[in-house]
Structure 1
Amino acid sequence: MPHKVILVILDGLNYQVAEHALGHLQAYRAAGRAQLYKLDCELPALSRPLYECLLTGSAPIVSGVVHNQVVRLSNQQSLFHLAREAGLTTAAAAYHWISELYNRSPFVAVRDRHTSDPSLPIQHGHFYYADHYPDSHLFVDAESLRLRHQPDFLLVHPMNIDDAGHRHGADSAQYRNSARSADILLADYLQTWLEAGYQVMVTADHGMNNDRSHNGLLPEEREVPLFVIGSAFSLNPDARPKQTELCGTLCSLLGLAHDKPRCAELLA
C-alpha cells in the first residue's frame, strides 16, 4: 500500500551527538515506535554530493556531484522526478542547493525562493540561502507547505546544526545544543505528521569534526543517524541500511516503480 512520506535531513549531524541529544526521537524509540540506525555516509562527506546520494541513491563518484561547487542540475533520476511522473505531489523546505539539483540551476532567489509549479520535479518549495536561516522558520515553512498542498513526499532540511559545527566544532556546546533545539522543533510536528498518515525518516547528510569541517574518513565525519518512525517500518534492530539505499526505500514506501537499491529489512 502506498504511503505518504516525510524525509528530514538534519544537515551536519553526526551519530555520536544524535544518539544522546535527540531526546524526543529517543522517546519514540524507547516506546517501541521508532528505531535508530547508524549509517556511514558516502564519500566525499560533503553536502551537495550527499543530497544527491540521499535523493537519487547514487554515490558521488557515480553522480558526478563530487564537491559543493558542482552547480548544475542532477543527471540522475531523483525521488522527486519519479514521484512527479507517477502523479504524486512533491514539496521541499530546504537549502537552495536542493533547488539547483532538481528544479533550476543556478538558483535565482527572486525567481526560485518560493516555488509553486506542477511541471517542476519539486512542485512546491521554500528554499533558503543563508546557513543561519533559523531552523524554527524552516520547520514552519515545511508545515505550511504540508498544510497547503498535502504533498505525498515532503523534504524538510534545516541547516543550523551544520552551521554551528562550522562555527564552533563538533565538540562544542553550540553544536550539541543546536541538535537539541532541532529535536525540540521536531517535537512540535512529529505526532501531527504521524496522525496525518506520514511515514517519517530522519537522517543527516554527513557529520562534523573538531576542525569545524567534514570531508574525510573520521567516524565523526562519516557516521550519521537514521531514525525511522511510522507503521510501515519494521523497526528491525538488525537491519543494516546503507545511505545509497534510502532513496529506493522511500520510493517503495511511496509505491513508486523504481530500480534503485533499497533496504527491504527497514520495511514492515
Structure 2
Amino acid sequence: MTERRCMWLLLVCCALGLAVPWLLGLTYSARLSSHASGFYAVPVADVVAANAGPRRPRHSVLVVIDGLGHEAARTMGAIALLREHGQCRKTAVGVPSMSRPVYATISTGLEQDRTGARGNDDESPLFAESVWDLARAAGLSVAVVSELTWWQELFPRGFTSYEVADPEVDYFARAPATDLVLVHPLYVDEAGHEHGAASREYADAVARVDRELTALLHRLDLAQDLVIVTADHGHSPRGGHGGAQEPIANVMTCHAGLGVRHLPDHGHLRITTVGPSLALLLGLPFPAHMRAGDDELDVLWDIADPAVLPADYLADRRAAVERFRRANEAALREWLPASDGSWDRFYAAHRRSQLLAAVPFAALLGFVLVAQALVHRRRARRDHARPGALFGLGFVALFAVVTYALQVGLRGSFDLSSVAGRGEFIGFTVVLGLAWTTLATLGHWLLRSDRCALMLDLAALSALGTVLSLAHPVALGWRLGFPVPPPAIYFFPYFAALMLGMLNAVAVVVAALIGLRPYRRRSDMLA
C-alpha cells in the first residue's frame, strides 16, 4: 500500500471515527430514559382490607440525604439515635447510582432497569405509581422541601405543597407538620461533587446534616411519629457517582417511630423496599409496579412491629405481597416461559441476548485487526519494509490498555463515578485524549520511522473505536433498553465521544502533515 493510500485510508477512518462516536455520545443522555412506559412493568391493583388498617403516625418524615454513602452515615449521631429507637440497614441502590433514577426507585419500589429512569436529564413524568400518589389518594397532605424540582417532575400529582429552598437554609426546620413530608437536603452531594468524599468539605457537610437531622428528631415524638432516613448514593473519594463501587452504590436506611420494630443489629436492604415500607407503615396500598419476585420484600415483616400493627393488617399485607409475586410470576411466564416466572432468570436471558447481539461486532473487531496485520505483511513483502504486523497489534493493544489505565488511575474508575462535574470531565478527557494520542504517535514514529505504518495503525485504532461505538446502540438499543448494562459499558459513549474525538483529531493532523510533505518539498525546490 502506497503512502498516499495509507493517508486516504486514515482520513476515511477518521471521518467515521469523528462522526459516529460524537453523534452517539451527544445523543446518549436523551436516549437513556423511557419515563413514559418503562420496561416490563407489571401493574397490580392493591387495596388495604376494610377495617384492617393500622393507626397512622401523627407525622411521617422521609429524609433523603443526597450523596450520603453508608460509610459517612455510620459516623452520624443522628443515625445512632435512629438505630437506638428503631433499625438501620445498609442499602444497595442499584445501577445507575444516580439521583433521579434512585428518586424514582425510592418512590415506586421499581428498579432502575424497569422504571425507565436511567439519567438525570429527563424532566418528564414517570409512568409508575408512587407512594406519594397513594398518599394523596388516601387524603393525606404530602409536602416536600428540596433544592430541586425533580420529585415533582417525576410525580406531578403526588404533592400538596412543594418548597424549593436555598442550600443555606435548614431544610429540617422548614419541614411543615403535614401528614407526610419529604425532606431532601442536597448540600452533602454538592460537597461530594466539588471536593470528593475524602475531603474536609464533605465531612463538614455530613456534620451539618447530622446536626440538623438530630434537631428534627428531638422535635418529633417517636411514640407517635415516623421517620425514615435514606440516601440516593454515596461519592467516590475524588467526587462522582453512578457506578457500583461499595461506598457509592450503598447507603444507610433507618426506620424509627410508630409501627417500627427495634432491631439493634445492622441489616441489609434493597432501595426498592423503601417505598413499600413507607406504604406499609402508613397503611397505604403498595405501589402498583413495585418489584415483586426474587425480591427482599420479606424484610418488611422485620421492619414492622407486630406489637403495634394489628395482626389482621399484617396478614392482609402479607397476602398482598404474595398476590404481587404471583402476578409478576404469571407475566414473566408469558413473556419468557424459560424464565419459570423468575426475574433473576429473566434478567439473565436478556443479558445473554445483549451479548449475542454484540457477537458480530466482536467478529468485526477481529476483522479490523486481521486486516491491519495483512496490510503490514503485504507492505513488508512488496516494499521490502520492516515487518510491522506484530508491532501494529502491540501498538493497538498498548494504546487501549494505557488509555484504560490512565482513566482509572487518574479518575478512580472507568464508569460514571469518575465524573464529578460535567465540565470538568469534558476538559479532563479532552486533555487526556490529546496528550496520550500525541505521545503514542511520537513513540510510534521514534520506534518505526515509517509514515505509512503509523497511518495504518492509527487507522486501525480509529476503526476499532468506531466499531465499539456502533456496537453499543445495536446491542443495547438506540433508546437504552432492558436491562441496564454494567457500569463501564453504561459509561462508554460519554468517554468515547471525547477520547475517540481527540484520537481522530490527532490522526487527521498526522495525515495532513504527511500529505502536505510533497508540497513542502516542491516549494523548497522552487525556492
Q: Distance in 1 between matches of 2:269 and 2:93?
A: 11
Name the structure 1 match of 2:62. 7
Contact 1:12 1:204 in 2 (8 A): yes
Mean Cα displacement is larger for which, 64-73 or 194-203?
194-203
Shift, 1:191, TM fit:
2.5
- Say whether 1:98 aligns with 2:151: yes
Larger Rg computed on CA atoms: 2
Contact 2:140 2:179 in 1 (8 A): yes
CA distances 1:27-66 after superposition (whole Å, capped 9, x unpaired):
453xx31322111112100000000010111111111110
Runs of 4+ in 1 over 6 A off after TM superposition: none
Contact 2:223 2:258 in 1 (8 A): no
Q: Distance in 1 between matches of 2:268 and 2:237?
A: 27
Shift, 1:195, TM fit:
5.3
- Say whether 1:204 aligns with 2:231: yes
Contact 2:82 2:255 in 1 (8 A): no
Q: Give the 3 Å change call, closer, same or farther, for CA 55–2 of structure 1 in structure 2.
A: farther
**1:190 counterpart (217, 234, 241):** 217
Q: Distance in 1 between matches of 2:174 and 2:238?
A: 32
**2:96 counterpart (7, 20, 44):** 44
TM-score w.r.t. length of structure 2: 0.44
Q: Distance in 2 between matches of 1:195 and 1:267?
A: 14
Greater share of strand: 1
CA distances 1:167-223 after superposition (whole Å, capped 9, x unpaired):
100101111121111010112211222258221011101110023100111111111
Q: Distance in 1 between matches of 2:221 and 2:81?
A: 15
Partner AA of 2:225 in structure 1: Y
Partner AA of 1:98 in structure 2: W
- Say whether 1:66 aligns with 2:118: yes
Mean Cα displacement is larger for which, 174-183 or 45-54?
174-183
Q: How many residues align?
A: 239
**2:78 counterpart (14, 24, 30):** 24
Q: Which runs of 5+ in 2 are unaligned?
A: 1-53, 292-296, 306-527
% same residue: 28
What's the Cα RMSD here? 1.8
Partner AA of 1:250 in structure 2: L
Mean Cα displacement is larger for which, 186-195 or 202-211?
186-195
Q: Distance in 1 between matches of 2:274 and 2:120?
A: 21
Q: Which runs of 5+ in 1 are unaligned?
A: 104-119
Q: Distance in 2 between matches of 1:24 and 1:51?
A: 22
Q: Distance in 1 between matches of 2:260 and 2:222?
A: 15
Contact 2:82 2:88 in 1 (8 A): no
TM-score w.r.t. length of structure 1: 0.83
Name the structure 2 match of 1:171. 198
Name the structure 2 match of 1:257. 285
